[in-house]
Amino acid sequence: MAFTAFSGNTKAVEQHPRRQGWVVLLLLAPGIAYMLLFFVAPFIQLALTALQAPAASGGIGQYVAALEFGNYWTALSEYWPHLVRSFIYALTATIIGLLISYPLAYLIGVKVRSKPMLQGILLILVVAPFFISMLLRTLAWKSILPSELIGTHFSVIFGLVYNFIPFMVLPMFASLQALDLRLLEAGSDLYASPVTTFRRVTLPLSMPGIVSGTLLSFIPMSGDYVVASREFLGGTSTAMIGNVIESNFLQTQNYPMAAALSIMLMVIILIMIATYVRKSGAEDLL
């Protein structure tokens, strides 16, 4: 580059950004292909399915291409209680998980930072549930909990909190692990109380981890269909929208209804997440 600049060969200098652009495009190609193949194409298929109409033959699971936008209204009018229940469960479990996860992440990321072995053991204990299938863990809790609790709101929220706690702890730990402890010492030197230091220093600096953890937990909780299933910790009165979608897809084969519910769930979650991220001041995550 230096040679071309001194030699006055501006053509060579102008070609350099173009070659760089091709390199960037080649590096991005696998990721773009992945998104097109595994997200855009299935989403388009799902959107087309949501607009299908029953076939003239009237057979179960027989549908033809159409523009039946009324499928969305039918899905919403029939299953709005399941949608509301799903978000109440997910929101409650997220708040409980946050209250449990933050102190745990603070202990691992700040309090025992000077003891690497203890910190490593605690981290292994947090991720240890991942070594066992989620289905087996949930089924085990069905045997552990009293039968009177199975099929109640408590058992479903308990199962959601238990299964998604690691998703919340790990981002918070990463954020708190990067916290400069000298800032906490400076707060103490300036006669700030521990509560003030936490509110003015620790909490703002750990906010990216809190936002990431709550999103990683709330999103899968809202669409979960395992915990609230009657085969696990749920019952007929605790069915979530994920159970309704699963039932319409696999049992009644009402594909347009299931697809419309899936898209509505996706849109509502996106709106809630965008609002939450904007309110929390973490727009960089969008």
User: Can you give the residue range of the structural domain that contains 203?
Assistant: 69-285
Cα distance between residue 76 and residue 244, in whole Å:
12
Q: What is the pLDDT of residues 101-142, one digit of tens each?
A: 999 999 999 999 999 999 999 999 999 988 889 899 999 999
- Which of 212, 216, 153, 229 is CA-nearest to residue 178? 212
pTM of the model: 0.85
Q: Does some domain include residue 24?
A: no
How many separate domains does the chain show? 1
Segment 1-30 mean pLDDT: 65
pLDDT at 187 over 60: yes
Cα distance between residue 200 and residue 207, in whole Å:
12
pLDDT at 97 over 60: yes
What region does 158 belong to: left with phi over 0, alpha with psi -120 to 50, or beta?
Answer: alpha
Confidence at residue 90, expressed as pLDDT on a 0 to 100 scale: 95
**C-alpha of 125 from chain center:** 22
Q: Does some domain include residue 45?
A: no
Q: Does some domain include residue 4?
A: no
CATH code of the domain covering residue 272: 1.10.3720.10
Q: Does some domain include residue 16?
A: no
- Which of 260, 232, 273, 214 is CA-nearest to residue 80? 260
